[in-house]
Structure 1
């Protein structure tokens, strides 16, 4: 049996329909139907049934999942196997929030690339919750998130990455007329709050802080891109809560200024699936990560 049939099986489970699986895999609908028929013929059981608009697993299909996972995992091990472990190859998929991917991880990834230039790095910009989902679905090998729920730890292994200070930032001209964020029970009528939409960990941190301080804003600009938020506030569009690491260069250039507030910290974590086989590239990544943290801690 071809591995692509098993990949089709897993994609249908993830997307919930034959048509969505076809679009994601760039197959025709008839190819998806053929793959399912082949798998059902080999297994000797029906593996999918329709429930509303979704295709769901039969009891036999659910029992088949761990066997398919084992085969696909074994295939990944073979694809990444190296006779000379010093010559790292294969692919490594990393998911992280955009702010970390753009402003925190490049130095780490540069070290990894220097030691393993033949590894294909696949980087995915995702919200923290989407990173957790991708780890569960095994569509990323390693994920970085800003928060971990207790239920996340049931199937995933997380380790603390770092705790980074965060502040309210605005352009120097806006910062001069913006009320400080230390003062409780105030309405900021003339300054726009610029933030990522919910759900988002930085947004949740912002909303929690403003709620506790009983601070309200007259209006808000919402957008997903941290880079665009930075560009907006640099151009006098408002004030935003951001991790310090995302704006250090602009603060140094005096393009942005801090609006005083109480201490705020953003915690981040690095995670993988429990019992996931670590390819040589993954093992190297965690070695580089440990060295990176040791260097940062000593500074």
Structure 2
């Protein structure tokens, strides 16, 4: 079996689309089709069932997939051990989320790029469920999660730091002058501003309010954290966000912290597929993430 055929097979098996696999591999779709047929011919068995416009792995394809991934990983490991042994190289597909990409990871990305310029980082913005699935499938090499759980089936992970959350509002909001501490019941009738469903702190916040009232709270949804902050600063409502994302606004007085303590805790984590042989450049990246994010959270007090 040729390595290039196994690489193409693994990509098609991961995305379950000849068209998407061709785009990600920079091949013509006809090349992907011919390579899969060549692999099937060499093995004497079909690897995919064609169901109209959809495909799925056959039993033989399911059995081949873990071996294909091991062979591909071993090939990359062998190359790294022989070529550029003094300076790590390769590509890392990194799954992350907006709050981490914008507020936690810039020092890590900058340092790693300058120390290891031959390693190309490809950042993919996805939320928790999608990131975990992509790690299990091998689409991502490493991923950053912000989750209440710290163990994930099929993955290995390291907790980098707790991620404190803060409820914020504009200085003139009625809840900003309410004292002493707010109760969850005080939030059930106010306008809430948040990111899209699937965001871990948004989902946990909504679940807590549903538990109290029995019905979904009124959320005004914004696509990004920056848009959410602007909406809150404009008096559109209150929002629960990671403290690291609103530090500048709290310091300048654009936003104020409301006296409400979330009854849940999130942890920023770095994760990769369990049992994966880690090439040197991935090991270095994980070690740098653990060191720098922990230093950062220790320094800024979050």
Closer/same/farther in 2, CA of residues 297 and 222 from structure 1, 3 Å limit: closer
The CA distance in 1 between the partners of 2:214 and 2:64, in whole Å, is 53
Q: Which residue of 2 aligns with 1:210?
A: 209
C-alpha spacing 1:270/1:175, structure 2 compared with 1 (3 Å): farther
1:177-236, Cα deviation, whole Å (9 max, x unpaired): 6867823434665x5311123222111221133235549887321234223212322333
> Aligned pair 1:142/2:137, yes or no?
no
CA separation in 1, counterparts of 2:207 and 2:223? 19
How far is 1:90 from its partner?
Answer: 1.8
2:220 counterpart residue number: 221
**Per-residue CA distance 1:159-184 (angstroms, 9 max, x = gap):** 21211211111222336668678234
Inter-CA distance 241–149: structure 2 relative to 1 (3 Å threshold): closer
User: Structure 1's 130 and 289: CA in aligned 2 closer, same or farther, altered over 3 A?
Assistant: same
Distance, in Å, in 2 between the alignment partners of 1:232 and 1:297 is 27
Counterpart for residue 99 of structure 1: 99
Alpha carbon RMSD of aligned pairs, Å?
A: 3.0
Cα pair 2:176 2:258 within 8 Å, conserved: no
Q: In the aligned structure 2, how far is the partner of 1:296 from the partner of 1:5?
A: 43
**With structure 1 as the length reference, what TM-score do the two structures score?**
0.85
1:44 aligns with 2:44: yes
Q: The residue matched to 2:147 in structure 1 has which SS? A: coil
Quick one: distance in 2 between partners of 1:297 and 1:140? 25
SS at match of 1:168: strand
Q: Is the 8 A contact 1:165 1:263 kept in 2?
A: no
Q: Deviations over 1:235-256 (max 9, x none)?
A: 3332110010111112112121
Deviates more, 1:73-82 or 1:101-110: 73-82
1:60 matched to which residue of 2? 60
TM-score of the aligned structures, taking structure 2 as reference length:
0.84
Distance 1:217-1:38 versus aligned 2 partners, 3 A rule:
closer
Instruction: Tell me the number of residue pairs that the alignment of Structure 1 and Structure 2 aligns.
Output: 297
SS of 1:124's partner is strand
Q: 1:32 Cα shift? A: 2.7
2:258 is paired with a residue whose SS is strand
Q: 1:68 to 1:48 in 2, by over 3 A?
A: same
Q: Which runs of 5+ in 2 are unaligned?
A: none
More displaced stretch, 222-231 vs 287-296? 287-296
In the alignment, structure 1 residue 69 sits paired with structure 2 residue 88: no
Measured in 2, the distance between the counterparts of 1:177 and 1:14 equals 49
Task: Give the 3 Å change call, closer, same or farther, for CA 158–103 of structure 1 in structure 2.
Answer: same
Q: Separation in 2 of the partners of 1:218 and 1:134?
A: 31
Q: 3-state DSSP class of the match of 1:172?
A: coil
Aligned to 1:45, what secondary structure does the other structure show? coil
Q: Is the 8 A contact 1:234 1:256 kept in 2?
A: yes
Per the alignment, residue 232 of structure 2 pairs with: 233
Mean CA deviation greater in 172-181 or 97-106: 172-181
More strand as a share of residues: 1
Q: Secondary structure, in 3 states, of the residue corresponding to 1:143?
A: strand
Distance (Å, rounded) in 2 between the aligned partners of 1:132 and 1:29: 28
Q: What is the aligned partner in structure 1 of residue 121 from structure 2?
A: 121
State the distance in 2 between where 1:92 and 1:198 align: 28
